[in-house]
């Protein structure tokens, strides 16, 4: 398994491949130390180990490679160290916690990379918050030095923030005054929505380049506690012990490396295949059903990381990140699921029956996070229900996440689609709704009726009548209808489609999570391309240069 570095370009690719799989033994920027119920996640970024050449990661500044390791650590803590109930996030460097995203990395990065970087880091921070909320792993940020920009955004993802009071350490979000951009990983949203900082104080804070220190930071609710340097280590250790919760599982599982084989236009996993057609700007994502639906052991965790739903969704998650980072020009993703529907539903029943076991709960939560990543994929997604498809129960969720579902109606090769109780709330979207509930936002009674429906399968016409699929062409029209739909979609403006899909996918209530990603799309897709930020005389372009930015004063 390779670490999160730039590999050699694959045949036929214009750029180097970003590998997202890593392991604590390969970390270059983080140290993970577990001491019973308390884990220490220590940020100690190597200056010379950036993901791309051309910049140094000074002052614990970070790039995507740093965050890939963090995402891996957050997941491993949940599966490999369930005994941990407190995670102390701190820095291994003196006088600095984190200087935020590396500015020189951002300055040289393409616009799509900037936005995907911000999206990935947001997903990682949401995973930290979910770990506190759902898994009982409480994140405590111990800011032992200056904490600015993305560093403070990382701290904001923790449940508590403690700041050293040494007369120089401060928290800040200096993006507006320094760079002409905004905190791209949810900083402003978390300041007011999560920490409930007063609006006028938040306004001052977000325009104060030097940040806020000590007791003032606590009074403004920017941190929860400040401690003098002489008492720092003891205070953090004491607070970590106060937060420890008894009764945690004592034995986790090892997350084994994914079985992953890469070719120029194809990635094969044990249960997933991603293949792309660059000329057509399309990709095919195939999920394969389980070979068996054997009962879980008396201790479910003994099933390990090869257990089908865990292995499948780890692979699916990796494939979605691959699509995002390494295949930027792909516009349309067709989603397929092939296998035995009976076996899928048998595994579905195991998930439902054992959902209160810690291991199965973590599997369900990982499935939830992966499906949310699919929701946020800036690709048009068409699910195709074909002969041999196994879209049922938990494996129906990816189809429900698609922009359209096409189901072939062929009497000679019957197809079916199936729902289960897991489709009614086990995998909520960022807006808190089940995908089935959002599909029928104006008709909750229909959702209840579908859940109470005793039929084991929906045929194409039944699925169409129930509103579960977009269209059910017969076998004579299937190929032409799909070809036209995909070609037409791929011909439209990618920018317009990204905006359209983001608007349509998240109907219903607003949450902090939907605000973060909605504002990310608007802020980053707009501000990162404005001359005031990235033009020749823009603030981001001139950062670190002996010149001042020149702003177009017109507000729009």
**Are 238 and 265 members of one domain?**
no
Distance CA 550, CA 440 (A): 50
Query: What is the predicted pLDDT for the residue at 85?
Result: 98
Query: What is the predicted pLDDT for the residue at 10?
Result: 34
The answer to whether residues 131 and 139 touch, using CB atoms and an 8 Å cutoff, is yes
Distance CA 188, CA 209 (A): 14
**Are 295 and 177 members of one domain?**
no
Query: What is the predicted pLDDT for the residue at 525?
Result: 72
Place of tokens 């045929």: 459
**Are 82 and 47 members of one domain?**
yes
Question: Is 493 a member of any domain?
Answer: yes
Which pair of tokens denotes residue 350?
A: 């195991």
Mean pLDDT by 10 residues, the chain (556 residues): 37 65 96 97 97 96 98 98 98 97 93 92 97 98 97 98 96 94 90 97 96 98 98 98 95 97 96 97 98 94 98 98 96 98 97 97 98 96 98 98 98 95 94 95 88 83 96 97 97 92 92 90 78 90 90 87
Question: Is 319 a member of any domain?
Answer: yes
Q: 10 by DSSP, 3-state: which?
A: coil
Distance CA 137, CA 50 (A): 29
Query: What is the predicted pLDDT for the residue at 15?
Result: 61
**Are 198 and 318 members of one domain?**
no
Query: What is the predicted pLDDT for the residue at 314?
Result: 98
The answer to whether residues 536 and 542 touch, using CB atoms and an 8 Å cutoff, is no
Number of domains in the chain: 2
DSSP 111-180: HHHHHHHHHHHHHHHHHHHHHHHHH--EEEEEE-EEEETHHHHHHHTSSEEEEEESSS-EEE--HHHHHS
Query: What is the predicted pLDDT for the residue at 9?
Result: 35
**Are 284 and 187 members of one domain?**
no
**Are 130 and 222 members of one domain?**
yes
> 412 forms bridges with which residues in the sheet?
none
**Are 367 and 229 members of one domain?**
no
**Of 500, 523, 549, which closes a domain?**
500
Question: Is 294 a member of any domain?
Answer: yes
Distance CA 169, CA 97 (A): 9
**Are 232 and 311 members of one domain?**
no
Which pair of tokens denotes residue 270?
A: 């044990």
**Are 272 and 394 members of one domain?**
yes
Question: Is 250 a member of any domain?
Answer: no
Find the domain containing 344 and state its range: 261-500
CATH of the domain at 133: 3.90.226.10
Distance CA 401, CA 404 (A): 9
Query: What is the predicted pLDDT for the residue at 523?
Result: 72
- Of 62, 265, 39, the closest CA to residue 158 belongs to 39
335: left (phi over 0), alpha (psi -120 to 50) or beta: beta
**Are 136 and 233 members of one domain?**
yes
Which pair of tokens denotes residue 179?
A: 């760079």
Distance CA 488, CA 148 (A): 45
The neighbour count for residue 443, using CB atoms within 10 Å, is 12
Report the relative pairing of strands 138-143 and 86-91 from DSSP bridges. parallel
Question: Is 19 a member of any domain?
Answer: no
**Of 189, 213, 242, which closes a domain?**
242
**Are 478 and 340 members of one domain?**
yes
Question: Is 78 a member of any domain?
Answer: yes
Angle at which helix 358-375 crosses helix 111-135, to 10 degrees, equals: 150
**Is-above-0.85 flag for pTM?**
yes
The answer to whether residues 527 and 520 touch, using CB atoms and an 8 Å cutoff, is no
Question: Is 158 a member of any domain?
Answer: yes
**Are 148 and 280 members of one domain?**
no
Question: Is 521 a member of any domain?
Answer: no
Query: What is the predicted pLDDT for the residue at 453?
Result: 74
The neighbour count for residue 368, using CB atoms within 10 Å, is 18
């Amino acid at each position: 398994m390779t670490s999160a570095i730039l590999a050699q370009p694959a045949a036929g690719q214009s750029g180097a491949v970003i590998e997202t799989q890593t392991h604590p033994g390969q970390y270059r920027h983080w140290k993970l130390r577990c001491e019973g119920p308390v884990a220490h996640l220590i940020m100690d970024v190597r200056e010379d180990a950036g993901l791309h050449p051309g910049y140094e990661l000074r002052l614990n500044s970070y790039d995507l490679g740093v965050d890939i390791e963090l995402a891996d650590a957050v997941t491993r803590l949940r599966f490999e160290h369930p005994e941990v109930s407190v995670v102390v996030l701190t820095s291994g460097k003196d006088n600095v916690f984190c200087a935020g995203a590396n500015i020189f990395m951002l300055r040289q990065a393409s616009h799509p990379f900037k936005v995907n970087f911000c999206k990935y880091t947001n997903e990682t921070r949401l995973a930290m918050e979910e770990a506190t909320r759902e898994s009982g792993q409480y994140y405590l940020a111990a800011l032992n030095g200056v904490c600015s920009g993305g560093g403070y955004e990382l701290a904001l993802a923790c449940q508590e923030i403690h700041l050293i009071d040494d007369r120089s350490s401060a928290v800040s979000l200096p993006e507006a005054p320094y760079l002409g951009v905004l905190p791209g990983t949810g900083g402003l949203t978390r300041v007011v929505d999560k920490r409930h900082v007063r609006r006028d104080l938040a306004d001052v804070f977000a325009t104060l380049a030097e940040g806020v220190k000590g007791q003032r930071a606590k009074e403004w609710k920017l941190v929860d506690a400040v401690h003098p340097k002489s008492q720092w280590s003891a205070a953090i250790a004491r607070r970590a012990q106060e937060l420890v919760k008894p009764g945690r599982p004592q034995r986790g599982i090892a997350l084994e490396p994914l079985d992953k084989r890469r070719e120029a236009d194809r990635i094969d996993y044990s249960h997933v295949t991603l293949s792309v057609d660059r000329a057509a700007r399309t990709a095919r994502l195939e999920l394969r059903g389980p070979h068996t639906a054997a009962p879980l052991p008396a201790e479910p965790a003994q099933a390990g990381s090869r257990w089908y739903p865990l292995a499948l969704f780890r692979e699916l998650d990796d494939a979605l990140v691959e699509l995002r980072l390494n295949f930027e020009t792909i516009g349309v993703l067709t989603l397929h699921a092939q296998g035995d529907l009976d076996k899928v539903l048998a595994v579905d029943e195991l998930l439902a029956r054992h959902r209160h076991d810690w291991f199965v709960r973590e599997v369900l939560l990982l499935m939830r996070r992966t499906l949310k990543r699919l929701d946020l994929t800036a690709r048009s997604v068409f699910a195709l229900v074909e002969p041999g498809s196994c879209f049922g129960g938990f494996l129906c969720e990816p189809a429900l996440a698609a922009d359209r579902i096409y189901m072939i109606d062929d009497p000679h090769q019957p197809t079916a689609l199936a729902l289960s109780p897991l489709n009614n709330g086990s995998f909520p979207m960022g807006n808190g709704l089940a995908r089935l509930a959002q599909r029928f936002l104006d008709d909750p009674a229909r959702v209840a009726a579908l859940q109470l429906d005793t039929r084991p399968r929906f045929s194409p016409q039944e699925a169409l009548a129930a509103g579960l699929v977009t269209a059910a062409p017969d076998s004579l029209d299937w190929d032409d209808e799909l070809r036209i739909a995909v070609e037409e979609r791929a011909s439209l403006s990618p920018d317009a489609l990204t905006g359209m899909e983001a608007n349509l996918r998240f109907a219903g209530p607003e949450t902090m999570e939907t605000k973060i990603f909605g504002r990310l799309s608007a802020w980053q897709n707009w501000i990162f391309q404005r001359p005031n930020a990235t033009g020749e005389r823009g603030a981001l372009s001139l950062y670190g240069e002996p010149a001042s930015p020149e702003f177009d004063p017109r507000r729009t």
